[in-house]
Chains A and B, each alone.
Chain A
């Protein structure tokens, strides 16, 4: 983990309420796709956890949806402004078990962490299929970006206004060797049931610190209690214990 100042390079809307922010700063603490950063916003007491969508030596890309006061404030920020960010948080996705043909399933703002993951899997020579799920056509983002990487990309919408009508699970390819997913919990549950291979799923929880100190984000798993911010946010399918 590292605390440092990032400066905003660009902050542009992708849809009505989803923004892409590119930041420049010290990314050296980020070690795996699926990790997250924790962003301090002026006037807000707690930091805001957001997944790493993409990163390289100097830049960090995040994609966030405006849902409340904090993300609203982020949407109003301009290039050149700075943000105090904790980077390198959480475990991230493990690439090793992917097999030759992994499938990546993302729902809404669960899509962003799959982007750098896809890059890394492609770099390892994998044939990557991506299924992006949204509610409706106007909410879709990053379809072309995944295609441009060279992923076989499918989109589903709940209302059928674009792509296949239904949920990401309705567009699962016939054959895949492993799955990676991130999205709202009902989607994760559906993916858990619909998949016939092992895989990894990324979870969300309200956080106090984001770095393992407060026990605010704990969850029970089949292998004991885990902190979503530290031993997570990514869990292996085999260890997940659904509560209620």
Chain B
């Protein structure tokens, strides 16, 4: 059997498959179904300084080969994540976990990351810069290279753990933002977050989502995600984590050929809760079919 292991920012993963933030909670809904230690790791629900209820409902809309969500970062806040979620997780997951962090100011990010940095279970900090900057007129941090770099520097200053900056695809030049984060000290880049989308209900003639717009993801966005992963991986020296529409072992390999060191799976988990386990179990077969003996050898292979 071929080798599935990869090294992500200095930490060895048994395989490159990582459930994406917001689609895997804090792990235990899935731990009821299968041993989640089969995963490379997983990225937990976007965590913020203060507890958040999130947006009004409806928050979900179906699309052709995908979905829109406008959950609005519902989470219990970093203190409760540390005092309640992480201890619960310890009983079913012994690998380092990826801590996904969101914020609405540079200080928010630094505060949350500093607390999570102290947690032994946390392997990486994945910093989601798609959120609006309340001090920057509500523009997302991830749409301006300087703002993304400022978050990166602030987080790097408070942690010794690898910092992966998670980028928004809703920008004109993703490469300049990735490079600004690399220059500011990021240890890795993950992409893509959801694409801004919308649906209208023909019966009510109103947007399906209470917030009107939301984040589009799922298999439909795979080609866009792959293209962005390819562009960014070619432009930076640090590892790239690819995601967006991944739902099969073939997709994982395609993302890795585009330059991804590891691959996250989001919306697909919501439809088939076993998908990540199934992908991992299917990888050896697909590797054999394409004569791949070690996954780490194919990273960026399409360049």
Contacts and interface: CB of A to CB of B under 8 A. Distances in A.
Interface of A: 1, 3, 40, 44-47, 86, 205-209, 211-220, 225, 230, 243
Contact of A44 (B29, B53, B62, B273): B62
Given A1-B32, A46-B67, A206-B60, A218 B54 contact: yes
B14 to A, nearest CB: 22
A215 B46 CA distance: 11
B132 interface: no
B59 A206 contact: yes
Given A86-B273, A208-B270, A213-B269, A46 B60 contact: yes
Q: Is the interface of A mostly helix, strand, loop or mixed?
A: loop
A47 B57 contact: no
B60 A220 contact: no
Contact of B270 (A205, A209, A218, A220): A209
Given A1-B32, A45-B218, A206-B57, A215 B273 contact: no
Given A213-B24, A215-B71, A206 B271 contact: no
Contacts of A215: 22, 25, 45, 54, 59, 71, 74
Interface residues of B, number: 36
A208 B67 contact: yes
Given A216-B59, A216-B60, A208 B69 contact: yes
Nearest to A2: B33
Nearest to B209: A206
B218 A212 contact: no
B274 interface: yes
Interface of B: 22-25, 29-30, 32-33, 45, 53-54, 56-67, 69, 71, 74, 208, 218-219, 267, 269-274
A213 B270 contact: yes
A84 to B, nearest CB: 8
Contacts of A225: 53, 74
B208 A206 contact: yes
Contacts of A218: 53-54, 57, 59, 71, 74
Contact of B274 (A3, A45, A47, A212): A3
Contact of B63 (A1, A45, A206, A217): A45
Given A208-B60, A212-B29, A220 B53 contact: yes
A144 B74 CA distance: 45
A206 B71 contact: no
Contacts of A206: 57-61, 208
B57 to A, nearest CB: 6
Nearest to A218: B74
B29 A216 contact: no
B53 A40 contact: no
A214 B23 contact: yes
A212 B25 contact: yes
Contacts of B273: 1, 3, 86, 209, 211, 213
A207 B60 CA distance: 6
A222 B30 CA distance: 28
Contacts of A3: 33, 272-274
Contact of A213 (B30, B60, B66): B30
B204 to A, nearest CB: 12
Contacts of B267: 45, 208
B125 to A, nearest CB: 21
A191 B44 CA distance: 39
A208, A219, A225, A243, most chain B CB atoms within 10 A = A208
A86 to B, nearest CB: 7
18 contacts: A1-B32, A1-B33, A45-B64, A46-B62, A47-B271, A208-B59, A209-B273, A213-B23, A213-B24, A213-B273, A214-B22, A214-B23, A214-B60, A214-B71, A215-B22, A215-B45, A216-B59, A243-B56
